[in-house]
Amino acid sequence: MQKVYLDNAATTPMSLEVITTITKVMETTYGNPSSTHQYGRSAKVLVEKARKNIARYFNVTANEIVFTAGGSEADNLILTNAVFNLGVQRIITTKIEHHAVLHTILALEKEQDIQVEYVKLTPKGEVDYSHLNELLGNEKSKTLVSLMYINNELGNILDIKFVTKICQRYNALFHSDTVQGIAHFNIDLQETPIDFIAASAHKFHGPKGVGFAIIKKGIGIKPLLLGGEQERGARAGTENVPSIVGMEFALRQALENISEEQKHIANLKKYFVERLKNTFKNIQFNGNSEDKEKSSYLILNVRFPSEMAMLLFRLDLKGIAVSGGSACQSGSNKGSHVLHEILSEKEALKTSVRFSFSKYNTKKELDYVIEALKELVL
């Protein structure tokens, strides 16, 4: 049985070069970065070198980088600090954010009595920028706008430059969950001065369990995790040295090859869209996922004409890994909160599948998926 992995928005396979890099660090540099002896100093050098390199990729300073256990922790750290440390009284967001953002905001609303407002969405799941402008102009209390760069289910791309300008106009802070965009799109934080962004290494062929937050210079951070002065007091806990080094290597590898990989994966997505259209009648594409300009080249969300409750399971039996939405929703009987927000009840009940691609995928694999779908759907 052939195996095809098309769930790269959930997580990506580590590259062999990253595995080799991590293994070497595990073998040779096992000191605690907080220790003052030579073993500790060697580990500290690797952590700080990785920090400086990551900062350079985003055109920020090294002290703006905080290493975390992933994107969810980074989002939690940012949002919690915005309320507890920066005096934010109001958060503007959408109802289709990742749950790392939505659930944190709901908890803050309940526990800290902050005001939460939701930006309207178009039927395609796009942010209504006019409504965002209106919301920001209607209230003078200290506000944080939290809008994800690329929606993890639809692939919709936010115009982060435009949102940054709107936020600056009204003196609002801007946080963007950029987990699906890091290493796949260039982000220069001097050209687009977002206040806070989040990243997770396993989305760009790095290790799981490590990520980072970028927090604008001059904004102090109080830790969520207490017990030590690691990360300049922003996060207690011994740094995961091998994974931090592996993450930086994976990020560098991706950015050095970004044009080539963008072209390869975009061609795969285009080919797959054409084959789907030519093979199946009445399929639709959720959000902007079919649009090559308005959607990430990595994500395609397909809605089939009817409900097929066992489709993902049957695809899995054929060796094909895909998702019905966010991987974080696996095991939930509620379905996708994103699709329920933008589709009618009738359309949301139909089976939707998220296909997400990587540099390792091939047209031959996509042909195999089409043949499997023909057998299961037609």
Helical pair 241-256 and 16-28, crossing angle rounded to 10 deg: 150
Q: In sequence order, what are the residues at sequence separation of 6 or more whose Cβ sits closer than 8 angstroms to the Cβ of residue 316? A: none
User: Residue 177 in contact with residue 214, Cβ under 8 Å?
Assistant: no
235-256 core/surface letters (b: 16 or more CB in 10 A; e: else): beeebbbbbbbbbbbbbbbbbe
Q: Are the C-beta atoms of residues 50 and 248 closer than 8 Å to each other?
A: yes
Determine if residue 275 is left, alpha or beta; phi over 0 gives left, psi from -120 to 50 gives alpha, anything else beta.
alpha
Beta bridge partners, 116, equal 91
357: tokens are: 């691609």
As given in the structure block, the two tokens for residue 202 are 């396993």
- Active-site position among 26, 283, 327, 328: 328
DSSP label of 329: G
Q: To 5 degrees, how large is the angle CA 221–CA 165–CA 343?
A: 90
Radius of gyration from C-alpha coordinates of the chain = 21
Cα three-residue angle 64-177-157, rounded to 5 degrees = 125
E strand segments, 223-336: 284-285, 299-303, 320-321
Beta bridge partners of 176: 197
Q: Catalytic residue at 328? A: yes
> HEC profile for 132-167?
HHHHHHCCCCCEEEECCCECCCCCEECCHHHHHHHH
Dmax (CA) for the chain in angstroms is 67
What region does 232 belong to: left with phi over 0, alpha with psi -120 to 50, or beta? left
Provide the pairing of β-strand 90-93 with 299-303: unpaired
So which residues are the catalytic ones?
Answer: 328
